[in-house]
Structure 1
């Protein structure tokens, strides 16, 4: 018991890093560590281990934060040198790769960068390059219920991102990284039933060959883990080697002079480690190999300590090696999965048939991980248990063995290619089955429940998967109801909630009344990065919306309309209106915007205006006025100076407390005359961080500050929300304190 409690206390201290609003100062950390050491000598030794674990995690996080780009260099172009780390990915004409061992003669730069290069020459792993890079501090879009890019960058210890402007190769690739990259290219060149990219993901951990549609399908069916080399793949390969030695020993075919158990454990670890090195040995693979090592040591020497000791030991080992893994969803899902299986099967009485055990494992994972998926703002796959019931053994027994053997035998003419062809067609068959499942049972993006509802739901899930005989197990379903049907916050009648989403260089604004919802614009789509799919739909789903009464697309420019098709696919849209219906390509005919159209929803008034004589796209923007309880908001799309003058001349009332600045703060909009007529107290600007257009223009900022009016900028504040009719302040999503956004 002392061992378990000690490991639990140490792990809890390191896990607490995830919820730190800010990191303690260096002096505080030193005092905390000293106090922890003192407490180790008394009865409060678990508290001492907790404090030591927390101090260790905070020190690791501080080192990563201090290695980020100097703010003075944000947006600067610098010449630098570095070595390409990992396997570069190419998509839509853009090469993305990471650079390590970075050096620059005139600046102190982070040790690891993530770069993109449009129209790049061939970039290979292990090469050394001299590059001219426009550097950026780690920055991401911040919206409710969506992926946190800044946390992901910090977890990978990436201190800056950048766009390459020019470069020259200083040294060709050599060694293991070059060999691995060459093997990747060889695999991708195979026919393999059109699934060479999937085989590269299984063998090398390189998912760049999978399309966006492939990843979406895997996410919808809860099978993403199959295409990412993780603990499952490492443990499977190690388990085969362990089982082979055990079988030979049982049959009397293992040499008697060699003790079979140490050899089985040693060969299993060597095989798992070798597979991990083949996969690039990045953080998830390192985590899997560490977990494998701890479990094998437990199997060899410490079985008498029970099942939870190796789990806690592996957890502590992983956290000590890299405390920042707590920022990665995969860490929580992998350890959560193992803990759930241990809990579900530890109290089992008697032997079950293998198919009963396998089915129970799948529904335990599906049910038990649901609260964790909610907490991580990930979609919950309703078809996941059934999909994994079929997919896990198919990949493990039918796809992976010929894929690995075929890769090993590629030097043998015909044999390696034939095995890869067999593996590829088996993988294609699996994708077809998964596609059928995802069409019948799509993934569920659940609304974010309040903390009390989440805690009840997590407790209910644990009760439901607990061993039979535990009292009150049936209560679990009732406890999960607040999570499955969470209470949704809605504005009172006569008021409206406004949320200007953080979509980078684009615009998307949600207007919600008591029983209705309107979306004004849907962000951009740039290549395979669709803001409608990645940001707008998940955000709306997390707020409990599955339909829109009106999608109003101001005009057809990509930064306003590019995400509209994804919104139409992801939500039910009752009505579609646009200032440029003829140019809108969303698979459905849009209604033209009408000047002076008015309606009321739940005591909130709406009015549109459109300049019939506009001769360019920006001035054809359909603009919207929303008024609640005497408080007014204007949404102007990309309306320019001439359009603003025509709007003034129309005689519509323009005086408003809130204004969404036209054209992202461009100098061609928000003229002084227009601003004086509107006289806003607050101006909302939606734009991309360090965008190439220089938005917002300094002249526009000067005009706004001269009113005076407060500026709310998505690039600085993330998504901006306010309650219209309540006359309260606007608040940005970045106001929620988390240590990884520390400036």
Structure 2
């Protein structure tokens, strides 16, 4: 028992999640050293197996690898985008959820298993675009049950029960809160450059629609960039365009799950993405994405990926700017 208690104090490795092959290699090494004869052969065999195991762990230890990795998670009718930053840090933009889900189980049943499967043990930057449950519920769960470095938001407060609970959890756990809006200059985050674009200030929009106050930002890595558009509506898109800021991005997280009230032609013209990703639930009751929105995207030659049809979408970008998009993970819902 004393030995077990002593070993339990050892630091936990968080950058490496063993796969089945790794467990097989470890068990084989134990078998070799225990049962093989002569002893020299047993030692050589076990050392060889342990060397292979160590080599397999090297890529995980150097997580990031100078690449920007995006995982648009299939978590039902909501938004949840995991970002692997070039220096190995992790960012999560929104966490999915459902307004009709009173127990807010998206975090424990969908989001947490997805993070574990992807080998994520800490979220360095937990980002909430706005207060609606289909973005907030998973964020609330992680804030209370996961290792989090910082929390970022627009600073536009809400009186909703879940938002107030989130702020209480953040304060109770001592998680720093950072407010982002268009008044802030671009800043470095995890080896990438983050440009806050919207809202213009941390004041509630005149429309009263929380979608119009969505946190919108562009993340740049070398020649590649991704624009996270939250649930921005057409009216807010017009106001953003009127500010005259550059929006051009090679990948677009389509606003508001592909609603017909977003992603207007002038906005798409300004962004000019080569790839677009729509987060939506399979056969959702809102009939999203709208056929008209998909048509506007495809008319411009934009490659469109949808979590309702493709499952979780992975996009990887090096400093040269090209996106490699695939769908190897399937659905987490």
What's the TM-score once normalised by structure 1's chain length? 0.36
Assess, with a 3 A threshold, how the Cα gap between structure 1 residues 470 and 668 changes in structure 2: closer, same or farther: farther
The whole-number CA distance in structure 2 between the counterparts of 1:709 and 1:508 is 21
Matched, 1:486 2:61: no
Deviation of 1:568 (Å): 2.0
| Residue correspondence of structure 1 range 407-418 to structure 2 within 5 A | none
Alignment correspondent of 1:733: 328
Alignment correspondent of 1:669: 262
* 1:607 aligned to which of 195, 198, 207: 195
| Residue correspondence of structure 1 range 148-547 to structure 2 within 5 A | 447-449=16-18, 453-463=22-32, 471=39, 472=42, 479=49, 482=53, 486-487=57-58, 488=60, 490-493=63-66, 495-513=67-85, 514-524=87-97, 526-528=101-103, 530-547=105-122
Give the secondary structure class of the aligned counterpart of 2:64. coil
Q: Which runs of 5+ in 2 are unaligned?
A: 172-176
Matched, 1:551 2:122: no
Alignment correspondent of 1:690: 283
Deviation of 1:550 (Å): 1.1
Deviation of 1:654 (Å): 0.5
Q: Which runs of 5+ in 1 are unaligned?
A: 1-358, 360-381, 384-439, 737-743
Alignment correspondent of 1:103: none
Alignment correspondent of 1:102: none
> Is the CA contact (8 Å cut-off) linking 2:230 and 2:255 kept in structure 1?
yes
Number of positions where the alignment pairs a residue of Structure 1 with one of Structure 2: 297
The whole-number CA distance in structure 1 between the counterparts of 2:301 and 2:198 is 28
1:623-660 deviations in Å (ceiling 9; x for gaps):
12111112111011111111111221222211111101
Deviation of 1:537 (Å): 2.7
Which structure exhibits the higher relative contact order, with contacts defined as CA atoms closer than 8 Å and separated by 6 or more residues?
A: 2
Deviation of 1:469 (Å): 7.8
Give the secondary structure class of the aligned counterpart of 2:91. strand
The whole-number CA distance in structure 2 between the counterparts of 1:533 and 1:680 is 33
Alignment correspondent of 2:180: 593
What's the TM-score once normalised by structure 2's chain length? 0.77
Assess, with a 3 A threshold, how the Cα gap between structure 1 residues 734 and 547 changes in structure 2: closer, same or farther: closer
> Is the CA contact (8 Å cut-off) linking 2:74 and 2:330 kept in structure 1?
no
1:419-469 deviations in Å (ceiling 9; x for gaps):
xxxxxxxxxxxxxxxxxxxxx99x9998444676454224135447x5698
Deviation of 1:673 (Å): 1.5
The whole-number CA distance in structure 1 between the counterparts of 2:83 and 2:277 is 14
Give the secondary structure class of the aligned counterpart of 1:669. coil
The whole-number CA distance in structure 1 between the counterparts of 2:56 and 2:111 is 22
Assess, with a 3 A threshold, how the Cα gap between structure 1 residues 483 and 533 changes in structure 2: closer, same or farther: farther
Give the secondary structure class of the aligned counterpart of 1:506. coil
1:520-577 deviations in Å (ceiling 9; x for gaps):
0111163446222233233333433322221111011111010112212343212112
> Is the CA contact (8 Å cut-off) linking 1:445 and 1:541 kept in structure 2?
no
Please state which structure has a larger fraction of its residues in helix: 1
1:690-728 deviations in Å (ceiling 9; x for gaps):
000000001101111111211101111111111233403
Assess, with a 3 A threshold, how the Cα gap between structure 1 residues 501 and 470 changes in structure 2: closer, same or farther: farther
Give the secondary structure class of the aligned counterpart of 2:323. coil
Assess, with a 3 A threshold, how the Cα gap between structure 1 residues 506 and 594 changes in structure 2: closer, same or farther: same
The whole-number CA distance in structure 2 between the counterparts of 1:446 and 1:724 is 21
> Is the CA contact (8 Å cut-off) linking 1:447 and 1:486 kept in structure 2?
yes
The whole-number CA distance in structure 1 between the counterparts of 2:136 and 2:13 is 25
| Residue correspondence of structure 1 range 46-57 to structure 2 within 5 A | none
Matched, 1:577 2:149: no
Give the secondary structure class of the aligned counterpart of 2:63. coil
> Is the CA contact (8 Å cut-off) linking 1:447 and 1:541 kept in structure 2?
no
The whole-number CA distance in structure 2 between the counterparts of 1:565 and 1:478 is 45
Alignment correspondent of 2:309: 716
Which structure has the larger Rg?
A: 1
Alignment correspondent of 1:633: 226
> Is the CA contact (8 Å cut-off) linking 2:64 and 2:89 kept in structure 1?
no
> Is the CA contact (8 Å cut-off) linking 1:461 and 1:477 kept in structure 2?
no
| Residue correspondence of structure 1 range 104-115 to structure 2 within 5 A | none
Alignment correspondent of 2:174: none
The whole-number CA distance in structure 1 between the counterparts of 2:15 and 2:248 is 39
1:107-133 deviations in Å (ceiling 9; x for gaps):
xxxxxxxxxxxxxxxxxxxxxxxxxxx
1:300-336 deviations in Å (ceiling 9; x for gaps):
xxxxxxxxxxxxxxxxxxxxxxxxxxxxxxxxxxxxx
Deviation of 1:484 (Å): 12
The whole-number CA distance in structure 2 between the counterparts of 1:711 and 1:461 is 48
Alignment correspondent of 1:653: 246
The whole-number CA distance in structure 2 between the counterparts of 1:596 and 1:659 is 22
